[in-house]
Structure 1
Amino acid sequence: MRKILIVEDDHRLSESISLHLTKEGYLCECAYDGQMAMKYFSKDTFHLVVLDINLPKINGLDLCRNLREKDARVPILMITAFGDIESKMEAFDYGADDYLVKPFHLKELTAKVRVFLKRAEQNIALQEAYAFIDLIIDPNKKTVIREGKEIHLTPKEYSLLEYLVKNKNRIVSKDELARNVWDINYGVTPNTIEVYINFLRNKIDRGFEHKFILTKPGFGYYISSQTS
């Protein structure tokens, strides 16, 4: 049985989500503010968190960051009334894995829950850290080290880098990144991907002689194993 923490201050919505997911075979625990959620999360093991952004005591974004610091691998699905791209990017920067805009259909929520729980089951075994030139990536701790220095990435930046490294020496289009890094379609734009590529370049390549993240104009991005 997979256990889900639902953090939503609207009691009616929280109950609806809980009842629906319970019928789907999941165990659910409901928290109505950020402090209550932290208490539950610290005392129990959850396989996924459904998290509203607007919460009393500890807001959803800060709570997301706190939960992510305690567990780097638990999937976090944020729900909010704000659907603009800036709000989505902010949620990703704080550690969210996906984003659902109110009002939403409970079947859509269930579909996302299934995707993330299936992926988490596939990744439950510890994986070996792998090196790429002077870059070391630890998929268990979600850390990145270059030339002995840890580079702090947001979860979305980490996922983007990991996907490019796994597909090294191959050009990856923006459409492919949208499907595989941002998961199911929820409005990610080419401009959003460009912004995150720039974020990643500033952290991974800036100040280093060898540049990892390269662009093939009109086609996409790639990471080359060539050091010259």
Structure 2
Amino acid sequence: MSELREALPRLTHPDGAPVRVLVADAESMVGDLLSMGFSLCGWEAQLAHDGAAAVQMGTQRRPDLAVLDTDLPESDGLEVMARLRAHWPELPVLILSAQAEPQDRIAGLAAGADDFVAKPFALEEVLLRAHRLVQRSGMTAAAGEELVVGDLVMNTRTHEVRRGGDLIELTATQFNLLKFLMANVRTVLSKERILQDVWGYDFGGRANIVELYISYLRKRVDAGREPMIHTVRGAGYVIRPAV
């Protein structure tokens, strides 16, 4: 377990807040084990032992990942997943099940689960799969030096930016603009806010500067690839992992 913790990247939100995971398992010992494992990785774990509690917790505050047992009382794991996704359509979900036959795995994945682990399981496997799901979601960054959105990775210490492993050359201002977008992944940012945070002065007829630099970024980040930088008409710009 200690070796795995050292090997896994320590994930946080770009603002430094811990990753949030909702764990729902009918077996208290299993739930406690998972909660402890995630806590040791620096994550904030919420624990539920039935479907109703899982839905209540997961809808009150969006988790970054839900780990759901299929055999929950009141509402099973797949039903909980559907109800959570009604609130958070892009929520990553890992399903746990004592039913390990291929048809059970296929049914879980077909219902929309992002991953499926059969019981009994090794805690290290669940933690590794959980890390990968959260990293792919683009909602978090590797703590300290990296921002990660999909296959776009920025090292804030070396100022290296790579997409799909390919190095992207940026000027200092382009780098700062991309950093601001990545630190606010999936958040629509107005031109006024971008000007204030990247250039440091108030909006005053300078929208063309933002438009120009967004155009520069698109040519470097999105050229020949699935686009990540999007315009939201009348609202601003947003970066999202490519589909």
TM range (shorter): 0.5 to 0.7
2:46 is matched with which residue: 18, 22, 29? Answer: 29
Q: 1:68 touches 1:95 (CA, 8 Å); kept in 2?
A: no
Structure 1 residues 112-156: Cα deviation after superposition (integer angstroms, max 9, x where no partner):
0110111112244379xxxxxxxxxxx9xxxxxxxxxxxxxxxxx
TM-score (norm 1): 0.54
Task: Confirm or deny: 8 A CA contact 1:62 1:94 kept in the other structure.
Answer: no
Q: 89, 112, 130: which one pairs with 1:113? A: 130
CA contact (8 A) 1:8 1:33 kept: yes
What is the root-mean-square deviation of aligned Cα atoms in Å?
Answer: 2.4
Alpha-carbon offset, residue 9 of structure 1: 1.1
Checking the alignment, whether the CA contact within 8 Å between 2:59 and 2:84 is kept in structure 1 is no
Report the Cα distance in structure 2 between the residues aligned to 1:93 and 1:68, rounded to whole angstroms: 15
Q: 1:84 to 1:126 in 2, by over 3 A?
A: farther
Aligned ranges 1:145-224 → 2 under 5 Å: none
**Partner residue, 2:100:** 83
Task: Quickly say closer, same or farther: Cα 1:85–1:126, change in 2 above 3 A.
Answer: farther
| Structure 2, unaligned runs of 5 or more | 1-17, 139-148, 151-184, 189-227, 229-241
Question: What TM-score, normalized by structure 2, do the two folds share?
Answer: 0.51
Are 2:127 and 1:66 aligned? Answer: no
Match of 1:100 among 117, 135, 143: 117
Which stretch shifts more, 63-72 or 99-108? 63-72
Matches of 1:101 and 1:40, distance apart in 2: 24
SS at match of 2:91: coil
Q: Does 1:12 align with 2:29?
A: yes
Q: Which amino acid aligns with 1:125?
A: R
User: Could you say which residue in structure 2 is the equivalent of 1:45?
Assistant: 62
| In structure 2, C-alpha distance between the alignment counterparts of 1:40 and 1:108, rounded to whole Å | 25
Matched residue SS, 1:40: helix
Q: Percent identity?
A: 23
Aligned length in residues = 132
Three-state SS of the structure 1 residue aligned to 2:37 is: helix
| 2-structure distance, mates of 1:114, 1:63 | 21
Larger Rg: 2
Contact 2:62 2:88 (C-alpha < 8 Å) held by counterparts: no
